[in-house]
Amino acid sequence: MSGSAVLLQFLNGLAGASSLFLVAAGLSLIFGVSRIVNFAHGSLYMLGMYLAVSLSGTLGFWLSVPLAAALVAAAGLVIETTLLRRIYKAPELLQLLATFALVLIIRDAALWAWGPEDRLGPRAPGLAGAVAIAGRQFPQYDLLLICLGPAVFIALYLLLSRTRWGTRVRAASQDREMAAALGVNERRLFTAVFALGALLAGFGGASAIPREPASLQIDLAVMSDAFVVVVVGGLGSIPGAFLAALLIGEVKAFCIGLGYSELTLAIEFIVMAVVLVFRPWGLLGRPLAETRGPGTLQPPLPAPSFLLLGGLAVLLAIVPVFAGPYTIVLLTDILVFALFAASLHLLMGPGGMPSFGHAAYFGLGAYTAGLLLLRAHLPMELSLALAPLAAALGALVFGWFCVQLSGVYLAMLTLAFAQIAWSVAFQWDRLTGGSNGLIGVWPAPWLSSKQAYYYLTLVLCLGAVALLWRLIDSPFGYALRAGRDSPLRAAAIGIDVRAQQWAAFGIAGLFAGVAGALYAFSKGSISPETLSVPRSVDGLVMVLLGGVQTLSGPLWGAALFTWLEDSLSRGVEYWRAAIGAVILVLVIAFPRGIFK
Amino acid sequence: MSCKVLIYCLFIAVSSDAFGQGQSIKIGELNSYKVFPAFLEPYRKGWQLALEEINRSGGVLGRQVEVVSRDDGGTPGDAVRVAEELISREKADVLMGTFASNVGLAVANLANQRKILFLAAEPLTDKIVWENGNRYTFRLRPSTYMQVAMLVPEAARLNKKRWAIVIPNYEYGQSAAASFRKLLTWAQPGVEFVAEQAPPLGRIDAGAVVQALLEARPEAIFSALFAVDLQKFVREGSTRGLFKSAAVVNLLGGEPEYLDPLKDETPEGWWVTGYPWREINTPEHRKFRDAYQKRWNDYPRLGSVVGYCALYAVANGIRKAGSLEADKLIAALEGLQMETPFGGILWRPLDHQSTMGAYVGQLAKQGGQGVMINWHYADGAKHQPSDQEVRALRKE
């Protein structure tokens, strides 16, 4: 690269960093104060884009940006006061479920309101052209964007450090209860912070329309970018988010400039993994203060009811006698996801380690099964038996890094590893079949009938669940829970907390691998979606829906979610929104999970 | 416990299979309606129009045709389950649909296993009829290879030496780039490829990509971008002056689904494959366009044509077979000739690919809208590799 090429790519990186920072700042602020992992942040950004594009038709671009931002802030206000306020006291991560439901609803609402076509916004009047920099043309609007990021950063910094309101916000981020005890009106503060975060998201979206068309897919893309920036910077740290946005923006621009554009598929996750391995709380983050309150109290789990499991097994075993063939197909899926959810539950519940990337092990199991069958030409039975070992191995490798962290940082590191695994499967065309995946992964002839495969799935899944339950009820399970509830006391009585957690990762990975391998043979093909973020999120939703603090909850959560998806997608036009609405109702009605 | 059992029984009651089967012919249709709505809403309107026409004229084999349509969720795993539902619960006689290549391949693979005819309407991947092709799967749209082959003569006529490539980073883009390199080098020996950019699908960092292309100083660019990526690329490229110095050949760029959002920013002079619906005035197309506009009060997109032809292909196949048995249907579809809005097509017995073509032309602006000019119809039959090559790929 010539000197001027470097300069231009540097400026491109700065423009990218600015728009990253605008989304991330709001997310960081909301997390810092209310500890809400706001999945819907990208949806608010998308809303800002669509509003700005349609408003700019009548009002012109410059007026549409602040107006769209204000409207999104108002939407944030409504969301906070009608929904989130009801569930602050619920167990941690339940808010995540609620905001996930919002993602589904907002996306379908946008489809309904604005139609399916992408909407290319106007160029910014007055800044539509380019300026010559180092003999090359650089868009004028990008120069404005480069200034906009730092301007918002300074404004936020002044707001937080120089005003009384900012002091309250900082106090609440450090210790919510202490702030409340000193007379800070928590409710009003939370509402204001959420609205401010929504305002920033809306502003980020609206100000992006000269560079980016409004489309329905943008929400999750922006959400994952924003998460990465917030975590790399350190949760709740605005300067950290700014620094992280700069880092990621520049790394991306130079990947492209140097001709490694394929790397941009996962580069931000690689950066995040590296940062978290060396700095467990992000670049400028601090260890989080412990939150106290009903949400964090974990009552001891009831002893596992093997009677329930046995009854279930008998019931399920006689289903094929009277049910039609499709019921068996659907039940096979439900059983596979029930095991997937149960394995995730070992980490999230007794382990206290939220994993946002559990699909990695599911996918590793599926891919290993497929590769052993198709590439190594092993018999299907052997492939099925060996695949979970690869998943367990993967989980042990990833888990070793993850157990050094805790809370959301740990969750995000699992996500980063899952995304890296996904991009390898996606990219390694020769081995994994790339984006198309592996085709022709069918079970052995004696298992090829739906009934035979159903019974295999039934035996393996319920057997695995029984093993998991037995493990949770064993000394290992108790040690794991002790480490979750009080790491210090657990260490004092001689429990190696990290070793327990590490083992839990391996076991959870093993069983997720069993589920993945069963899934592969039931579908006949595998593609990278088996280890993608949506698959991980599905797992989270199943566990949270059923209840983290129960044993059988994840099974019911998996059954309910899979069945909802299957039946709603058949009969309802806006079925995603319908699923979202059902989840919202359940979250508000049963904040501890439906089967608690 | 009893409450749980009750809920569980409820599941079964609701999800247990429906009884009875009418006299109508059932076609199971599945597509990712909520993931790619811009292409698939017109597609749905297309097959709905065909369905109404077919049934108005007395159906097929004296029976009415019924389409059971499902959203496949956009992932191969869900799509396979949905296809199972169509096969085993709905007792569909034929499967039809799918958009993304990975979903299409997964359903094709299932069709092969369950021995049911599957007409893949939209997927572009070469593999669905070649490497992973199977007896039960037929594909309507011109494949990635075919569309590249249609553009290569125009690319060679530009007579540029230094080419850059920009593609979305997944199988469609990769195979488009590979075919383009191969075919252009063959058509124009001595051509040089100076840069290749493969941004993630839907996530192009257009400013940086355009800048990197500029630095390579190409005389021409082959692009396989579409949808959001194409819009961002066009805007950044024209702002930064990339298209002043380089001619562009863009796969799919003239399809109304991707061209219309560009409006007055439509880059002029690009060579594209697409569908100039306004200007095609053959009787068969005029008939289709009038019927479509009358029925939906909207103009047809490419998806509309695909949906329309896909259902007619199934209906014609059943008519010719005189039966709903998969083997007879396959025999009927192999070599079937039929009329479409684009003219006559043939279903190749060799690889089950239809010879439906595409329109190749240049982009231009008219009244603030993108249109195609200087276009001609490229017949799909003429843009295929040799039969030996296809046989070798199909491993049959």
In chain B, residues with a C-beta closer than 8 Å to the C-beta of A325 are 17, 88-89
Taking an 8 Å cut-off on Cβ atoms, the answer to whether A326 and B15 are in contact is yes
Q: Which of A256, A442, A556 is closest, CB to CB, to B208?
A: A256
Domain at B23-142+282-356, CATH homologous superfamily: Response regulator (3.40.50.2300)
d(CA B123, nearest CA chain A) in Å: 11
Average pLDDT per consecutive 10 residues, chain B (396 residues; last block may be shorter): 43 39 83 88 96 95 94 90 93 94 94 95 93 94 96 95 95 94 95 94 92 94 94 94 94 94 93 95 96 96 96 96 94 96 95 96 94 95 93 83
Q: Which of A8, A211, A215 is closest, CB to CB, to B211?
A: A8
Q: Sorting pLDDT into bands at 50, 70 and 90, what band is A290? A: low
User: Between chain A and chain B, how many beta carbons pairs sit less than 8 Å apart?
Assistant: 233
Domain ranges of chain B: 23-142+282-356, 145-279+358-387
Q: Which of B11, B198, B260 is closest, CB to CB, to A261?
A: B198
Domain A3-278 indexed as CATH 1.10.3470: yes
pLDDT (0 to 100) of residue B19: 34
Taking an 8 Å cut-off on Cβ atoms, the answer to whether B85 and A326 are in contact is yes
Taking an 8 Å cut-off on Cβ atoms, the answer to whether B212 and A324 are in contact is no
DSSP per position, A189-248: HHHHHHHHHHHHHHHHHHHHTTTS-B-TTHHHHHHHHHHHHHHHH-TT-HHHHHHHHHHH
- What are the pLDDT digits (tens) for A447-483? 989 999 999 999 999 999 999 999 999 999 999 999 9
pLDDT (0 to 100) of residue B7: 46
Q: Which of A211, A50, A210, A48 is nearest to A116 (CA)?
A: A50
Place of tokens 């978290």: A276
E strands, A16-160, are 130-133, 136-139
In chain B, residues with a C-beta closer than 8 Å to the C-beta of A213 are 228, 231-232, 261
Tell me the mean pLDDT in the region A360-376: 96
d(CA A144, nearest CA chain B) in Å: 15
Fold of B145-279+358-387: Rossmann fold (3.40.50)
Interface test with A, best of B2, B99, B109 (most A CBs within 10 A): B109
pLDDT (0 to 100) of residue A297: 57
Nearest CA in chain A to B197: A261
Q: CA triplet A21, A25, A30: central angle to 5 degrees?
A: 155
pLDDT at A5 over 70: yes
Same topology between domain B23-142+282-356 and domain B145-279+358-387: yes
Query: Does residue B153 sit at the A interface (CB-CB below 8 Å)?
Result: no
Taking an 8 Å cut-off on Cβ atoms, the answer to whether A429 and B15 are in contact is no
Place of tokens 């009415």: B64
Q: What is the DSSP letter of B385?
A: -
In chain B, residues with a C-beta closer than 8 Å to the C-beta of A319 are 12
| Phi, psi for residue A98 in degrees, rounded to 5 | -65, -45
pLDDT (0 to 100) of residue B17: 36
Distance CA B352, CA B361 (A): 27
Mean of the per-residue pLDDT values of chain A: 91
DSSP per position, B95-114: EEE--SHHHHHHHHHHHHHH
Name the token pair of B7.
């809920």
Tell me the mean pLDDT in the region A485-507: 93
Interface test with B, best of A215, A220, A261, A448 (most B CBs within 10 A): A261
Q: Which of B73, B132, B228 is closest, CB to CB, to A213?
A: B228
pLDDT (0 to 100) of residue A92: 66
Residues 6+ apart with CB under 8 A from A572: A578
DSSP element (H, E) containing A389: helix A380-402
DSSP element (H, E) containing B392: helix B387-394
Q: Which of A137, A212, A426 is closest, CB to CB, to B239?
A: A137
3-state secondary structure of B17: coil
Domain with CATH 1.10.3470 in chain A: 3-278
Tell me the mean pLDDT in the region A356-370: 96
In chain A, residues with a C-beta closer than 8 Å to the C-beta of B232 are 211-213
Q: Which of B17, B231, B235 is closest, CB to CB, to A326?
A: B17
Distance CA A159, CA A53 (A): 29
Q: Which of A12, A118, A120 is closest, CB to CB, to B208?
A: A12
pLDDT at A294 over 50: no
Interface test with B, best of A305, A435, A521, A574 (most B CBs within 10 A): A435
Q: Sorting pLDDT into bands at 50, 70 and 90, what band is A550? A: confident
